[in-house]
Chains A and B, each alone.
Chain A
Amino acid sequence: MIFFVLSVLFLSMFLYIVLAGADFGAGILEIFKGKELREIQEKMITKAMGPVWEANHIWLILVLVIMFVGFPGPYRLLTISLHIPITMILIGIIGRGTAFTFRHYDAVKGKSQAIYSIVFSFSSLWTSMWIGITVGAMTLGRITEDGSFYNVYIENWLNPFSFLMGMFISSLFAYVASTFLVSESHTYQTRELFKKRVTYSCIVSVMIGTLLFIDSFFNPNIINEFLNDKVTMIFLFISSSILLFQWIAIRNRSDSYLKFLGVIQLFLIFSGWVVFLYPNFYFRDGSIGVNIFQGAAPDATIKQLGIALAIGVVVIFPPYLYLMNIFKRNLR
């Protein structure tokens, strides 16, 4: 049963980073929109995100629930030591969630729209940055409960590695969002504009990814583990090689491939990260580290959690797909 619970955890995390990631990315792209894009992009994003917007973000709640029900020990340690970056994520979530809703539902479309847009786009960047920083801190693994305030609450995330991870994840989100938006644009002009976004965000992602790789040489534990971890290396290698196919896809205007390959790339990077950490929730720097199986709740709980998740999946997926289907028609 624990593997079923872990698969649902994996799936919800992945769906969150793809679907909410595309949302975040769309917000980030709004910051870098040129004059030409201003209105078209805003309209497209609202149209594309609107119906599924709420649903996308509930994946995060699911991740959280699985964590505290199924893996209370690691959950406790992470919420204590990553209190600050998690709070920062929350601030971002409030900002973009409310700004998006207000922009969409405000009865009067006036000057306030511009303010909502600014809050929405900047908090999208802010949230992605802090999600990345949290991921970076988990990857670096300096999670501890003992020591000074600096050791416990600051050191794990306030470092170049975590910040580079924040930038890397933000640019990845922007990349995925732009591949989505290319395939959803219907005029030659908008398509060209988003094509540029794909190229730029791709270049930025690769550059930051390289920096991240270089920086990990300053963290000997990480780089040693990384170089030993064949699966992660292969995943990341395939993910990078897909860029070539992306280039072909963009030239041949095969948009559905572009979108599909973008998701595959994200999947490979995410799986690579999971494989890298497995069987821990964060990197074991030295002797500390929390093992998934040792940190799991008693069997009775895992069993009930598995049942609840199975029921949830059965109940949720049909209407979810139905909604997705309507919203696709909505775009046409």
Chain B
Amino acid sequence: MDDFIAARSQMAMSLAFHIIFACIGMVMPFFMSLSYWKYLKKRDPDHLKLTKMWMKGVAIFFAVGAVSGTLLSFELGLLWPNFMEKAGPIFGMPFSYEGAAFFLEAIALGIFLYGFDKVPEKMHWISSLFVGISGVLSGIFITSANSWMNSPSGFDFDPLTKVYSNIDPVAAMFNDAWMSQALHMTLAAFCATSLAVIGVHSILILKGINRDFNLKAIKIALPFFVIATILQPISGDLSAKDIAVRQPAKLAAMEAHFKTQKGAPLIIGGIPNELESRVDFAIKIPKALSFLAFGDFNAEVKGLDDFPADERPPVMITHFAFQIMVGIGSFLAMLAFYILIQIFFRKKEICNRLLLILSISTPLGFVALEAGWVVTEVGRQPWIIYKVMKTSEAITPMPGIQYSFYFFSAIYIFLTIIVTWLFFRQVKMYQEIK
């Protein structure tokens, strides 16, 4: 394995791992907080039990997220020192603010975890809320740093001398893509995490364990799921329109759109053939891509063939990942819509058939979320800073990165196994206490 592929794989793996824990750490505190609020109002012991159960979950996921996040912040430098040297002073602002928000999250979590019977109840509840708020803020800051790589701004760049001048870190932080990306990511975190939580509790009900208790849990998470999931396609549309203008090569790779044309069709499924610039076995909806990208059925959409060969992202991966994300997203949006009408408007009880669908869907949100990150990261290739620095220029001169990759893979696999095992123990124990 060559160093370049090894470094990219290690980075991808670390991010993929961290994102799951980061999202859970962002969203679950809100459930915990809401459940605690309900307990404080009605003093139902089930809600206290639920709060404590989720709290322990949050603590474990947060700690693993913190460790993997520390690891990531080191890996940025260890694997991509040339990138960090140039980019650090420009896109460092969101990192600084993210550090502060994350710090606040850790403090608030500390107060909440150890504050039972020690802190006034109101203060205690506020601390739980702050865990979530600062978690979401740190997520937004980090996404802003990433969006700068897609939409670099806040500096002048001379391609000949490779000099970065007139640095403006504030302009870099509020780059063109930050809003659409931050919105899309925050909604995705809410959708994926709430679905996973709902799914786990559905599984428990279907297994015949503590129906009432688990239904209370589902009722707390369900509104978050419905709202986030219904809004997500709208935010996705905003992102796609944004990409169509700023990163046409990424859009073309996502859609496996090879030839520049007016009234471009939307390609669903299919296997892209990069050598012959065509897509096999696909369903084509005429003019739909032009409409989705530019709001005009006859708009011209740039195809991959218009880009030099060394500036095209890998089509196969980007296209598949995009299809997975959109496919799951559409399915979940329909599910959310169904729940909205049946449960919230018609006030029907949650039936076992719905629970079954929800329990099967447990991991789907996270699958879509990971696929989405593949789209945004692989779709930006070969650039690390879009149109400014190539990923191959960013890598460390240190040889033998493959061994580092093997080693960290082993660590991540091991950690995944342990966390999963701990998770099952946790769930099992709490369900046994009546």
Contacts and interface: CB of A to CB of B under 8 A. Distances in A.
A60 to B, nearest CB: 7
| Interface residue range, chain A | 35 or more
Contacts of A31: none
Nearest to B95: A65
A76 B77 contact: yes
Interface in A291-321: 297-298, 300-301, 304-305, 308-309, 311-312, 315-316, 319-320
Interface string A57-83: 110111011101110110110011001
B62 A54 contact: yes
Nearest to A94: B67
Interface string A97-112: 1101110111110000
Given A93-B71, A102-B418, A105-B56, A319 B108 contact: yes
A323 B398 contact: no
Contacts of A98: 63-64, 67, 415, 418
A62 B100 CA distance: 8
Interface string B73-115: 1101110011011101110110111011011101111110111
Given A54-B62, A101-B59, A107-B430, A329 B118 contact: yes
A222 B119 CA distance: 52
B82 A57 contact: no
Contacts of B397: 80, 145, 152
Interface stretch (A84-92, A165-173, A196-204): A84-92
Given A300-B168, A312-B103, A101 B64 contact: yes
A54 B81 contact: no
Contact of A80 (B81, B95, B108): B81
Contacts of B90: 301
B97 A308 contact: yes
Contacts of B113: 50-51
B78 A87 contact: yes
Contact of B102 (A58, A108, A311): A58
Nearest to B169: A304
B100 A64 contact: no
A55 B110 contact: yes
Nearest to A99: B418
Contacts of B96: 65-66, 69, 305, 308-309, 312
Contacts, number: 199
Contacts of B119: 326
A326 B111 contact: yes
Contacts of B110: 51-55, 323, 327
Given A93-B71, A309-B96, A58 B88 contact: no
A101 B60 contact: yes
A83 B69 CA distance: 18
B170 interface: yes
Interface string B187-205: 0000000000000000000
B411 interface: yes
Interface stretch (B223-231, B374-382, B421-429): B421-429
Interface string A214-254: 00000000000000000000000000000000000000000
B66 interface: yes
Contacts of A104: 59
Contacts of A312: 96-97, 99-100, 103
B106 A58 contact: yes
B59 A105 contact: yes
B67 A93 contact: yes
Contacts of A66: 96
Given A65-B96, A323-B110, A76 B425 contact: no
A66 B73 CA distance: 12
Contacts of B103: 55, 58, 62, 312, 316, 320
A188 interface: no
A75 B82 CA distance: 10
Chain A interface helix/strand/loop/mixed: helix
A72 B411 CA distance: 29
Contacts of A64: 73-74, 77
A326 B430 contact: no
A330 B117 CA distance: 10
Given A58-B102, A86-B74, A323 B84 contact: no
Highest count of chain A CB atoms <10 Å: which of B102, B106, B113: B106
Contacts of A330: 114, 118
A61 B118 contact: no
A54 B63 contact: yes
B404 interface: yes
B239 interface: no
A72 B429 CA distance: 49
A316 B103 CA distance: 7
Given A65-B96, A330-B118, A107 B425 contact: yes
Contact of A83 (B102, B106, B167, B396): B396
Nearest to B415: A98
Contacts of B81: 75-76, 79-80
A308 B118 CA distance: 32
B208 interface: no
Contact of A62 (B67, B93, B99): B99
A153 interface: yes
Contact of B73 (A65, A91, A106, A301): A65
Given A68-B92, A304-B93, A327 B398 contact: no
B26 to A, nearest CB: 15
B89 A86 contact: no
A72 B88 CA distance: 6
Nearest to B166: A300
A304 B170 contact: yes
A83 B398 contact: yes
10 nearest interchain CB pairs?
A69-B92, A297-B89, A312-B100, A79-B77, A101-B63, A308-B96, A76-B85, A68-B88, A54-B106, A97-B67
8 contacts: A58-B106, A60-B70, A75-B81, A79-B81, A86-B78, A93-B71, A97-B70, A104-B59
Given A297-B92, A316-B104, 14 more contacts: A57-B70, A61-B99, A79-B77, A90-B74, A98-B64, A98-B67, A100-B63, A101-B64, A107-B426, A305-B169, A308-B96, A312-B103, A316-B107, A326-B118
